[in-house]
Structure 1
Amino acid sequence: MHPPSHSSLSLHRMAGDLADDGYCLSIWRGRCRRDQRLDVDLSRSAAVFALSLAGATKLGGIIADDEKILGAEQALMLNGAARPVWLASGGHRLLILEVTQEAIKIMGGGMPLRTEVEGLLEAADGQMLGPFEVGQDVLSLAQQLTQPPSHLVSLPVWYRAKVMELAALSFYCLGEQKMGNEGNGSMDRERSARELVQRATFLLERDLENPPGLEILAEELGCNAFQLSRFFSAEVGCSMPQYLRRKRMERAAALLHSTRLGVSEVSLAVGYTSFSAFTRAFVREHGETPTGFRHKTG
């Protein structure tokens, strides 16, 4: 895969190799100045799970009237046949997981595939399933995969475990509702508050460079700001600004450890326009300066 011209898109090969591991995880991240076509080379022997965390993606059909639009927080599956893929103008985070059919059987541990997924895998090349909405569990897991821990020695093992979890949710639990209709009012309220906070954390982490403010976030979630702030502190154990700072510093640490970006570039990438404010926040969270951290971990 190659990034298109006239954009700041970049392709990150996160983990795995189809030939050796049975899976490959990658993500397109960045911004398009206009609609751009990607040079996507998907394996014909793999099932493909594509999830848009931000931005709109269009997949051209094998026939003219078979196009699919993948919106933000939507996913689809296809059986690996080559298709033209466009990203609409704007910001994007498109996660793509390719898994061989042999690996799917192993990851499932004997669990039966969902009927629609089994049909997709047995169908002729070029078939697609979706787009469909995904649950908060899948969104949260995808978020973790795009922002791996920076200090984990066994990172390949961590990736494989997360990929297996994502595959299980996608290939075996696709479309199932985890919430029942029974329960008392107190439990329902607690569950609603928990889901509201999970949704809030996803939206905050989706764009650490420019996260929504409390009022905008509350409006998007359909609640008032005071209610959201109270629920958030109760569920997470800290205020929203504290949580946001911690996540930004975790992301900054990962960038310092795994990329050659300058410290000022890392600062901007996590939403700090003031270098001194970024340094203070980093020292507060990690106990040393960004430069010291890079020398220590590099």
Structure 2
Amino acid sequence: MEKEKFNKELLIKLNEELKTVQDQIKAHRFESFKIGCIRNLKIIRSIAKYLLPFIITGSIITGGICLLGGGFPFHKDKKKYYEKYCKEIDSNHQTSITCSYDENNGFENKNLVIVYGNWKKREDGKYYREMENYRFEEGEIKEEEIIKVVSNKNFDISSLLGQPTKIIQTKDSIFPEEIKSDDYRYIQAFISGTNKENYIIGLESNSRNLGITLIELMLIMLYSGVLMLIKPYDDIRCEISNIICDNKSQVDMSVLRKQLVIRRENIKRLTQY
């Protein structure tokens, strides 16, 4: 009877110890979870603090390029394509207008006034005539002034457009009606410009997007390299290592598990008698 009473008291004690160990394990798991969350938050904070200057630098560079008319890297932005035009007028009162929204239309090189002389025949049988080319930039001369010069057949336009480039044009043969009087002269003008009131919205070209992307990446890499000299990567590694060491659990989980196994085995032995 005394042995049974002893075993019963021992079993009660072991069950109490088992419950205590189980409670300790639960508390330890909760504490480990809490420590892990705090550790991860500290690591994230340290990484964010280290990366923040790089993020700010990248944002400033990208935003600045966008304000200057660029766009975002790796993304084809929407862009306004303004109407480009080229007017062709001559002293015979013939006029034609060509319009395009394509930026590579070549109109930029067509601000030109040409004064043609009469065709003359050379001794070798070929024909030639003198040409005076007056070039000007878009917006440099008012369009109305160019039209007035051509309409009035004002051949002395050096005061308006400066000195011309003289060229000799030659041909093997010409039509008889092309030969005029010796003092015959003919003016032709090409006027190109941009109509800001007419435009279409489209995506920027692949080459433009690639160029902007490369410029932004090079600038970001350049400034990031400077920042890494100021804030070395080893500093953040050391800081994270210190956080991990400071937040390790002080309780050895393996010891608690061994205690749990021992008490369960003791309880099992007692219940078999």
- With normalisation by structure 2, the TM-score equals 0.18
Higher helix proportion (structure 1 or 2):
2
Determine which structure has more spread, i.e. the larger CA radius of gyration: 2
* RCO higher in structure (CA 8 A, sep ≥6): 2
- With normalisation by structure 1, the TM-score equals 0.17
